Amino acid sequence: MMKQYLNYFIDILLLIAFLITGITGLIKWRLLIVNLGMAELYFILPMDKIRLWHEWASFAMLILILIHLIFHWNWMVFNTRRIFGEILKKKN
Average pLDDT over residues 75-90: 84
Q: Is the pLDDT assigned to residue 79 strictly greater than 70?
A: yes
Average pLDDT over residues 17-27: 94
Domain ranges, ordered by start, for the chain: 2-91
10 versus 40: which is more confidently predicted? 10
Q: Is the pLDDT assigned to residue 34 strictly greater than 90?
A: no
pLDDT for the residue 92: 62
The 3-class secondary structure across 17-64, one letter per residue, is: HHHHHHHHHHHHCHHHHHHCCCHHHHHHCCHHHHHHHHHHHHHHHHHH
